[in-house]
Structure 1
């Protein structure tokens, strides 16, 4: 009897897998922090016989090379991938025996990358599970635009053919186990649900229900900006990532924090947005440790810029380190924990800014206050409607465009509050008068704010709550 265990990297929206039988297992698309994988294999008392990559990843640093080294496993990488380290090149149809009666078969599935390869786990000759990487996802497919712009349409067409090949070769009850699609920006659209099968995808996935031209047109129209740090991930994975170091970073006192800020380095406060708004080190930025820390910090920070982490406890620093190494931010320059009052020198003043809800914004507008409404959502979110008169700068562009924000008190919002808190901290660090709207966007119309459609530039109908 086989088993499959998923190892989630929730902040990045990805999954890795440990699969095997009674004695041996294979690891598919392992995370950078391989101790999680080793612990999972130890709990099941199985030997890691193979480490497998579906492709050279663009959204995280793999732990595959290091896991293969420390476990003695054979490292399988698609033959078409250009890498600088020794590995076993895998071509279409390549098979390996994982355990008694358990075989892993490679299926060439170009589209997400030219060399992308999915793997079918077969028990006693019958398909049991499909590890589809960035090919067939839950309700969608991996985006085809991460390799080279000139190849995007070609790869989109290949993605359509690859999804259909998987559907043709595998039975309806075969479980589909993708790496991307749980919040990852490697997905061409966000997946709905946690599990799926070939049969379910056959009924609902655009790649399997639409002709190739319609599918390609839809997928190309829906592509959004790529996180900036993706440009670093592919080369790092192709070169062969170094072993990670999760030892505690050097301790920073108030003087060092001040010096690092003065040098233009990033000081990142991992506390909740509520705590940060009430009290923080002037000039520091707020990326909640419990939010999508790795995605947004890696996206916004100038690559290679030293970062100092601030948190309540050493455990919170350790958790953040683990998330950040997954995207190549390997060593914080320093860290401070404990009482936030100790993070500033005697005589210095902490900073703060107010939080509000959309109802407060509506009241401010009714009073005639001089307010600037800044929308930091993505283009696709704004396309569904935006607050009339608002300024739009997506969060990932804001750090380089703060000078474009009009004068006045800036009320910044996103869809739920997390990105608004990041944006508010960026603006606050420049000395702007800012209010962080910590509210669900659905509450905007309920508060009486007028939403406008970008397609018509006309007000949208009021929500039932507003009528």
Structure 2
């Protein structure tokens, strides 16, 4: 009897899979930190016989090469992928036997990348699952604009054709098991749900319900900004990533933290946004360890700049270190934990700023106070409605555009509070007086703040 175990990586919005039979298994799109995969195989009592990639990933560093080396597994990579390491190239229609009666079949599904390949798992001749990587996702498909701008429309059309090929070749009851689509920016849009089948997608996925021209036009119009760090992931994966080092970083004292800040390095506080607002090292930035740490820190930080991590506990540092290694931020320069009062030198004080709700902003505006309302959501979010008179700078652009924020007290908001906290910390570090709006955007209307909605202008 076959099994499929999903390994979820919520911070990146991705999944990897371990699938197999009683004795052997295949790993699909493994993460950089392969110890989790090895542990999952040990729990199942199976040997990892194959490691397969659906494509050269743009959003995280793969652990595939190292996992294959450590386990002795055969490493299968699409033949069209240009890589610099030994691997077994996989072409459309190729088959490998994972375990007795369990066969994996490669299906060329270009679109997310030109070489993208899905894999159908067959037990005794019956298809029981399909691993679709960045091809057919839950209610959507992988975005086609991460390889080369001139190829985007061509790849969008290929996504439509690939989705139809999967739907034509596989039965309705076959589970669709994608790598992307659980919050990943590799998805062309976000959809609800965490499980689907070919049959369900046949009736709900635009790639299978719309004609190709309408599908392509709708997809291209909806593409959002690409995280800046994506530019580094593909080359790292094509070159063959080095093994990950998760040993604890060196401990930093207050003097070292101050000297690193003075040198222009990044000091990142992983504590909750509430705790950070109440008291933090002046000049440090707040990226909550419980949020989308890897995505937003890797997006905003100048690539290669040293980072020092601050947190409540060593366990939080270890979790963040693991998450950051998945996107190529391999070794923190240093770390500190415990009481924030110990992170500053004698005679210095912790910095702080206010937190508020949209109702508080409405009160301030009603009094006639002159404040700056800064919206740090993405353009696609703002297009769905925004506060009249607000300034718009997406959070991923803010670090380089602090000078574009008008003078005055800055009330910064996003859709829920996490990105507003990041933005508030950037502004606070730049010496601006800031209030972080920690509230859901729906509360803006409920508070009576005047909004510009789609189809209307200020």
The answer for the alignment partner of 2:28 in structure 1 is 28
The answer for the alignment partner of 1:284 in structure 2 is 284
Q: How does 1:235-254 map to 2 (within 5 A)?
A: 235-254=235-254
The answer for the alignment partner of 1:461 in structure 2 is none
The 2-side partners of 1:453 and 1:191 are apart by: 22
Does structure 1 residue 414 correspond to structure 2 residue 414? yes
The answer for the alignment partner of 2:37 in structure 1 is 37
Q: How does 1:4-403 map to 2 (within 5 A)?
A: 4-403=4-403
Q: What whole-Å deviation, never above 9, does each CA across 1:383-411 have from its counterpart, x for those lacking one?
A: 11000000000010000001000000000
Q: What whole-Å deviation, never above 9, does each CA across 1:246-293 have from its counterpart, x for those lacking one?
A: 000011000000000000000000000000000000000000000000
- Which SS does the other structure have where 1:122 is aligned? strand
- Which SS does the other structure have where 2:11 is aligned? helix
The 1-side partners of 2:454 and 2:46 are apart by: 55
Q: What whole-Å deviation, never above 9, does each CA across 1:152-180 have from its counterpart, x for those lacking one?
A: 00000000000000000000000000000
The answer for the alignment partner of 1:462 in structure 2 is none
The 1-side partners of 2:194 and 2:245 are apart by: 32
Q: What whole-Å deviation, never above 9, does each CA across 1:287-313 have from its counterpart, x for those lacking one?
A: 000000000000000000000000011
1:454, distance to aligned residue in structure 2 (A)? 5.5
The 2-side partners of 1:454 and 1:198 are apart by: 34
The answer for the alignment partner of 1:3 in structure 2 is 3
The answer to which of 169-178 and 364-373 deviates more is: 364-373
The 2-side partners of 1:448 and 1:260 are apart by: 44
The 2-side partners of 1:366 and 1:344 are apart by: 39
1:191, distance to aligned residue in structure 2 (A)? 2.1
The answer for the alignment partner of 1:465 in structure 2 is none
The 2-side partners of 1:297 and 1:108 are apart by: 34
The 1-side partners of 2:453 and 2:128 are apart by: 46
1:455, distance to aligned residue in structure 2 (A)? 3.9
The 2-side partners of 1:247 and 1:34 are apart by: 14
The 2-side partners of 1:120 and 1:240 are apart by: 26
The 1-side partners of 2:64 and 2:324 are apart by: 17
Q: What whole-Å deviation, never above 9, does each CA across 1:180-207 have from its counterpart, x for those lacking one?
A: 0000000000121000000000000000
The 2-side partners of 1:265 and 1:105 are apart by: 48
The 2-side partners of 1:167 and 1:196 are apart by: 13
The 1-side partners of 2:304 and 2:331 are apart by: 10
Q: What whole-Å deviation, never above 9, does each CA across 1:22-74 have from its counterpart, x for those lacking one?
A: 00000000000000000000000000000000000000000000000000000
Long gaps (5+) in structure 1: 459-467
1:370, distance to aligned residue in structure 2 (A)? 1.4
The answer for the alignment partner of 1:405 in structure 2 is 405
Q: What whole-Å deviation, never above 9, does each CA across 1:78-136 have from its counterpart, x for those lacking one?
A: 00000000000000000000001000000000000000000000011111000000000
The 2-side partners of 1:188 and 1:353 are apart by: 36
- Which SS does the other structure have where 1:19 is aligned? strand
Q: What is the aligned-residue RMSD (CA, Å)?
A: 0.5
Runs of 4+ in structure 1 over 6 Å off: none
The 2-side partners of 1:244 and 1:37 are apart by: 14
Long gaps (5+) in structure 2: none
Paired residues in the alignment total: 458
The 2-side partners of 1:94 and 1:10 are apart by: 32
